[in-house]
């Protein structure tokens, strides 16, 4: 059921169920005006998601011929249903950066690179094959590349006279974008800022320092005047500036933990380092992690390793195709 969460402009939230996924819900937002509408994000390419989203759009009497669809980033839980809900007249907006990554994914270049990267970082071929079968990013992606009009940082567009500014916030994905209603001081934060879970920051092809980019993007949002933040998942019952500080502190602790592990145990690969880090998987040790959660954890470990390499704290070297890490200054 769609929930009215703001008046003038009228903003609704449609909760889109994500079956068997720890995120549970995708928040699809709708700005409804007399002449045109905006829909933000879609859900996975799954029947349950499609049913929830289309029911919400029908309840709000949204005509997709007179609607703009804005996609905050390329992950399948945000773009998976694009082909199912747009018409020939729907305007689809997405960052130029993430749209190009999606093109590579559909051209078949992205996933083979990602699998080789994880292999070099210490993940076994057997586990790589296993994740291929269960990774929701692959299983529930759009079946074909949708058409989109790409937008850039600080580009603005209007919905029913309300001006929205596109804000490039790389980190969670290379082209992640937030939307900002400056007059109303409302931020649609996508997965850049979540309130009761920490956004996953992984490495990306062609990006040297995803985590550094993410932390810089947090500072960019921190400088805005924000009255209401609407995240891509779960609730928003906290001051956004306090939440940004919490996320910054979280990554500061994780950076220091990563460095400490390498200083105490030189020559580990990313999987071995990740196994020693602290993760929020209640009652489970590393060996018990489901492969898709282990995949996310290894990706985040690599992003912290890249961050430390960029700042001259550690070095990466290769031995028989596997990458290993050493600190430049060992713990005293």
The CATH code of the domain that includes 218 is 3.60.15.10
Asked if 165 and 114 sit in the same domain, the reply is yes
Can you read off the two tokens belonging to residue 134? 């269960």
pLDDT digits (tens, 9 = 90+) for 155-187: 999 999 999 999 999 999 999 999 999 999 999
Q: What is the pTM of this model?
A: 0.95
Averaged pLDDT, 12-22:
95
Are the C-beta atoms of 221 and 180 separated by less than 8 Å? no
CB-facing half-sphere around the CA of 116: CA atoms within 13 A: 7
- Structure tokens given for 212: 């550094």
**pLDDT tens digits, one per residue of 80-130:** 999 999 999 999 999 999 999 999 887 788 889 999 999 999 999 999 999
Helix (H) / strand (E) containing 105: helix 96-106
Instruction: Tell me, yes or no, whether 48 and 112 share the same domain.
Output: yes
pLDDT of residue 237: 84
- Above 90 in pLDDT, residue 259? yes
Q: What's 268's DSSP letter?
A: B
Dihedral sign for Cα atoms in the order 77, 83, 86, 88:
positive
Mean confidence (pLDDT) of the chain:
95
Residue 15: inside a domain? yes
- In tens, the pLDDT along 274-330 reads 999 988 766 577 888 889 889 999 999 999 999 999 999 999 999 999 999 999 976
Which candidate, 13, 83, 4, places its Cα nearest to that of 235?
Answer: 13
The first and second tokens of residue 9, run together, are: 């402009």
Residues 237 and 262 in one domain: no
Q: What are the CA-CA distances from residue 74 to residues 139, 152, 248 (Å)?
A: 14, 15, 24
Laid out side by side, the sheet with 3-6 consists of: 3-6, 10-17, 25-32, 37-40, 67-71, 91-95, 149-151
Residue 265 and residue 235 in one domain: no
Task: Please report which confidence band the pLDDT of residue 133 belongs to, taking 50, 70 and 90 as the band edges.
Answer: confident
Whether residue 179 is found in the same domain as residue 279: no
Range from 30-34, 190-194, 198-202, 327-331 carrying the lowest mean pLDDT? 327-331
* 296 and 183 together in one domain: no
Instruction: Measure Cα distances from 134 to 29, 121, 137, 139, 206 in Å.
Output: 28, 20, 9, 7, 25
Task: Identify the domain boundary among 226, 246, 266.
Answer: 246
Whether 100 is in a domain gets the answer: yes
CATH assignment of the domain containing 311: 1.10.10
State whether 242 and 284 are in the same domain.
no
Q: What does the pLDDT read at residue 280?
A: 76
In a domain, 332, yes or no: no
43 part of a folded domain: yes
C-alpha triplet 172, 174, 178: angle, nearest 5°: 65
33 and 159 in contact (C-beta within 8 Å)? yes
pLDDT tens profile 228-246: 999 999 999 899 999 999 9
Among 246, 273, 303, the domain boundary falls at: 246
Residue 21: both structure tokens together:
């996924």
Q: Are 243 and 193 in contact (CB under 8 A)?
A: yes
pLDDT at 332: 47
Phi, psi dihedral angles at 275 (to 5 degrees): -65, -25
For the chain, the domain total comes to 2
Write down the pLDDT at residue 120.
97
Longest dimension (CA), the chain: 66
CB 154 within 8 A of CB 165: yes
- Pair 320, 264 in one domain: yes
Same domain, 24 and 171: yes
In a domain, 234, yes or no: yes
Domain span holding position 280: 257-327
Residue at which a domain ends, from 246, 268, 288: 246
Confidence of residue 223 (pLDDT cuts 50, 70, 90): very high
Residues 191 and 301 grouped into a single domain = no
Stretch 209-229: mean pLDDT: 98
Q: How many CB atoms lie within 10 A of CB 318?
A: 9
Residue pointed to by tokens 């509408």:
37
Task: With respect to residue 251, please indicate whether it lies within any of the assigned structural domains.
Answer: no
Q: Are 128 and 261 found together in one domain?
A: no
CA distance 213 to 174: 9
* Same domain (yes/no): 24, 68: yes
């Amino acid at each position: 059921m769609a929930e009215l969460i703001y008046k003038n402009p009228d903003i609704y939230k449609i909760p889109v169920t994500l079956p068997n996924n720890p995120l549970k819900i995708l928040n699809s937002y709708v700005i409804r005006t007399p002449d045109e509408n905006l829909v933000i994000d879609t859900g996975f390419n799954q029947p349950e998601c499609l049913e929830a989203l289309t029911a919400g759009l029908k309840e709000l009497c949204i005509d997709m011929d007179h609607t703009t669809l804005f996609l905050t980033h390329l992950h399948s839980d945000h773009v998976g249903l694009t082909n199912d809900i747009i018409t020939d007249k729907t305007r689809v907006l997405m960052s130029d950066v993430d749209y190009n990554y999606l093109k590579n994914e559909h051209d078949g270049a992205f996933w083979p690179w990602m699998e080789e990267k994880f292999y070099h970082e210490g993940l076994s071929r057997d586990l790589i094959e296993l994740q291929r079968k269960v990774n929701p990013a692959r299983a529930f992606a759009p079946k074909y590349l949708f058409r989109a009009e790409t937008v850039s940082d600080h580009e603005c567009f209007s919905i029913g006279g309300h001006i929205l500014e596109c804000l490039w916030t790389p980190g969670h994905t290379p082209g992640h974008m937030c939307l900002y209603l400056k007059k109303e001081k409302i931020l649609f934060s996508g997965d850049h800022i979540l309130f009761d879970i920490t956004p996953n920051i992984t490495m990306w092809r062609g990006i040297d320092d995803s985590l550094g980019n993410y932390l810089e993007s947090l500072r960019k949002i921190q400088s805005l005047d924000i009255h209401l933040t609407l995240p891509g998942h779960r609730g928003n019952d906290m001051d956004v500036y306090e939440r940004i500080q919490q996320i910054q502190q979280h990554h500061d602790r994780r950076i220091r933990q990563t460095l400490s592990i390498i200083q105490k145990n030189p020559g580990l690969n990313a999987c071995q380092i990740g196994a020693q880090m602290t993760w929020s998987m209640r009652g489970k040790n590393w060996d018990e992690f489901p492969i898709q959660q282990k995949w996310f954890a290894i990706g985040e470990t690599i992003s912290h390793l890249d961050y430390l390499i960029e700042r001259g704290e550690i070095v990466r070297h290769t031995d028989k195709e596997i990458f290993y890490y050493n600190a430049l200054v060992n713990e005293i």
